[in-house]
């Protein structure tokens, strides 16, 4: 087990206080780019990519954080990409990914990997057009996609996303397995789906299972056996298996990183048994989203009001659930630190609830599942201080919205002590573009 190092305040400062992100002054970032602001630390992303080097392919689930600069970092680390929409295919291509796999096996003798894979439970009309135009590999989550693809891309090879009949996530809303989930092809339907693929002239070259997001290794470990059973039904056409994503990251104090070497060993053994059975090499993929970017990202927001409601004290900041939706959606916990505007010591801490600017009671960052307002011990804050909401680099900006006609925040990348804007803040004009009176 590796101890969590990303939560809480920066080394050397007082608990709950933080003045820098990756060596750059938080006050300077707020001054230069305004708030609320997403900031990503490039080194943390690289470190997380390298943690997973044992896998043949790391395929980034870009839905977690699809800024082009982030895609550029993971691409240069040799990480491939998953796309769930026309927009994500477009982003991948603009970030420098080729739509096509190399024709020949690599020096490792493994079958070539597709740089971009479209994984979804439907083709909308746009995405089918784009997949066909670029020849993108498809991971089918519903059997109806087979005939739709075959008609437009005869003879294509496909991957099947299988729902193994069980799932688990950090929230019921992120559980993607079992009867309660719309995702994947039901495991008992595989023989029928294989007949449909054969009839349509498509080759099933891979299998994929993703049981949920932010789950734990105990649940994830059950997937290897389930996938192996389905792989045996599919047979020798298989050249790739994917363990999906879902790797947990530590958000709360005391949580630690999971031991990933044991997880790889389990999947590697599964792959080797299948290689033995089929008599050829099989590529082993992992499809993390959160793991690669969550810890790299922070939201810098400014305290704009401090008030009491009865016995409870509230800090109201300029970020809301339009900026970071995870607390209102799932009751998710994000660590927070205060960056005072002045050099005061701020020795005292107090219990506060932290909320945003939106006209909605649920606009609270310190809430538990079900919408109950909780409090957090934070150094005593004043209007004008900055609050850093941490571990916000996955499902943060990508789930931000224009609710209350608030502009999407800017995004900044910090790399080797330098910082640059990688997405501009929206303007009032952006908010009405395309509308008419």
For ligand LLP, the closer CB: 19 or 208: 208
Q: Which stretch binds ligand LLP (CB under 6 A): 25-33, 40-48, 70-78, 284-292?
A: 284-292
Helix (H, G, I), strand (E, B) or coil at 128: helix
CB of 63 to ligand LLP, least distance (A): 6
Closest CA to 217 of 184, 179, 182, 265: 265
Can you give the length of the chain in residues? Answer: 437
Whether 65 sits among the annotated catalytic residues: the reply is no
For ligand LLP, the closer CB: 223 or 378: 223
Q: Which stretch binds ligand LLP (CB under 6 A): 30-38, 239-247, 261-269, 313-321?
A: 239-247
Q: Interface residues for ligand LLP in 101-130 (CB under 6 A)?
A: 119
**Which element (helix H / strand E) includes 273?**
helix 260-278
For ligand LLP, the closer CB: 56 or 385: 56
> From the list 16, 111, 177, 289, which residue makes contact with ligand LLP (rule: CB under 6 A)?
289
d(CA 173, CA 332): 12
CB of 172 to ligand LLP, least distance (A): 12
197-211: string of b/e by CB count within 10 Å (b at 16+)? beebebebbbbbbbb
Q: What is the CA radius of gyration of the chain?
A: 23
> From the list 16, 36, 164, 214, which residue makes contact with ligand LLP (rule: CB under 6 A)?
214
CB of 353 to ligand LLP, least distance (A): 21
CB of 35 to ligand LLP, least distance (A): 22
Q: How many residues bind ligand LLP (CB under 6 A)?
A: 21
Quick check: 79 and 49 in contact, CB under 8 A?
yes
User: CA angle, 133 as apex, 69 and 145 as ends, to 5°?
Assistant: 100
d(CA 280, CA 272): 10
- Asked whether position 247 contacts ligand LLP by CB under 6 A, the answer is yes
CB of 260 to ligand LLP, least distance (A): 12
Looking at 49, 140, 359, 436, which residue is catalytic?
A: 359
> From the list 164, 245, 355, 393, which residue makes contact with ligand LLP (rule: CB under 6 A)?
245
Q: Interface residues for ligand LLP in 365-424 (CB under 6 A)?
A: 394-395
Q: How far apart are the first and last CA of the chain?
A: 59
> From the list 46, 91, 290, 334, which residue makes contact with ligand LLP (rule: CB under 6 A)?
290
- Asked whether position 160 contacts ligand LLP by CB under 6 A, the answer is no
In Å, how far from its chain's centre is CA 269?
27
Q: Which stretch binds ligand LLP (CB under 6 A): 23-31, 67-75, 283-291, 355-363?
A: 283-291
Quick check: 95 and 70 in contact, CB under 8 A?
no
Q: Which stretch binds ligand LLP (CB under 6 A): 11-19, 282-290, 341-349, 372-380?
A: 282-290
- Asked whether position 244 contacts ligand LLP by CB under 6 A, the answer is yes
CB of 122 to ligand LLP, least distance (A): 13
CB of 184 to ligand LLP, least distance (A): 9
For ligand LLP, the closer CB: 246 or 379: 246
Q: Which two tokens stand for residue 157?
A: 């090879």
For ligand LLP, the closer CB: 340 or 409: 409
d(CA 226, CA 179): 16
> From the list 18, 210, 346, 376, which residue makes contact with ligand LLP (rule: CB under 6 A)?
210
HEC profile of 12-68:
CCCCCECCEECCEEHHHHHHHHCCCEEEEEHHHHHHHHHHCCCCCEEEEEHHHCCCH
Pairing relation of β-strands 240-242 and 185-186?
unpaired
Q: Which residues contact 148 (CB under 8 A, 6 or more apart)?
A: 123, 128
CB of 214 to ligand LLP, least distance (A): 5
Q: Which residues contact 154 (CB under 8 A, 6 or more apart)?
A: 201
Helix (H, G, I), strand (E, B) or coil at 363: coil
d(CA 389, CA 21): 12
Binding mask 30-69 toward ligand LLP (x if CB under 6 A, else -) reads: -------------------------------x-xx-----
Residues that bind ligand LLP (CB under 6 A): 61, 63-64, 119, 174, 176, 210, 213-214, 244-247, 287-291, 326, 394-395
Q: Which residues are catalytic?
A: 359
């Amino acid at each position: 087990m590796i101890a969590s190092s990303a939560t809480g305040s920066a080394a050397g400062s007082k608990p709950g206080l933080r003045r820098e992100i990756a060596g750059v002054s938080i006050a300077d970032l707020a001054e230069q780019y305004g708030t609320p602001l997403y900031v990503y630390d490039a080194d943390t992303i690289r470190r997380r990519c390298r943690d997973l080097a044992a896998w043949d392919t790391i395929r980034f689930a870009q839905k977690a954080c699809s800024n082009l600069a982030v895609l550029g970092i993971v691409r240069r680390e040799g990480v491939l990409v998953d796309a769930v929409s026309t927009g994500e295919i477009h982003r991948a291509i603009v970030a420098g990914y080729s739509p096509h796999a190399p024709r020949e096996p690599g020096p490792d003798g493994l079958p070539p990997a597709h740089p971009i894979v479209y994984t979804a439970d439907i083709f909308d009309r746009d995405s089918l057009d784009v997949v066909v135009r670029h020849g993108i590999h498809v991971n089918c989550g519903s059997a109806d996609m087979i005939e739709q693809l075959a008609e437009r891309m005869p003879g294509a090879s496909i991957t099947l996303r299988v729902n193994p009949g069980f799932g688990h996530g950090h929230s019921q809303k992120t559980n993607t397995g079992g009867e309660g989930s719309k995702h994947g092809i039901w495991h008992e339907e595989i023989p029928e789906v294989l007949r449909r693929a054969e009839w349509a002239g498509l080759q099933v070259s891979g299998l994929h299972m993703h049981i949920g997001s932010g789950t734990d290794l105990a649940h994830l470990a059950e997937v290897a056996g389930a996938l192996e059973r389905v792989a045996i039904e599919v047979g020798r056409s298989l050249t790739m298996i994917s363990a999906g994503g879902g790797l947990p990251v530590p958000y709360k104090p005391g949580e630690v990183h999971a031991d990933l070497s044991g997880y790889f060993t389990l999947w590697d053994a599964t792959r080797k048994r299948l290689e033995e059975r089929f008599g050829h090499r099989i590529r082993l993929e992992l499809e993390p989203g959160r793991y690669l970017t969550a810890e790299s990202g922070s939201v810098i927001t400014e305290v704009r009001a401090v008030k009491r409601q009865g016995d409870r004290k509230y800090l109201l900041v300029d970020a809301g659930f339009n900026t970071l939706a995870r607390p209102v959606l799932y009751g998710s916990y994000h660590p927070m630190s205060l960056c005072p505007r002045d050099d005061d010591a701020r020795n005292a801490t107090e219990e506060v609830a932290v909320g945003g600017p939106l006209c909605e009671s649920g606009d609270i960052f310190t809430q538990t599942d079900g919408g109950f307002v909780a409090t957090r011990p934070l150094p005593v804050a004043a209007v004008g201080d900055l609050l850093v909401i941490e571990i916000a680099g996955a499902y943060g900006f990508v789930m931000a919205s224009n609710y209350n006609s608030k502009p999407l925040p800017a995004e900044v990348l910090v790399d080797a002590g330098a910082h640059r804007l990688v997405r501009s803040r929206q303007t009032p004009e952006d908010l009405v573009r395309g509308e008419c009176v």
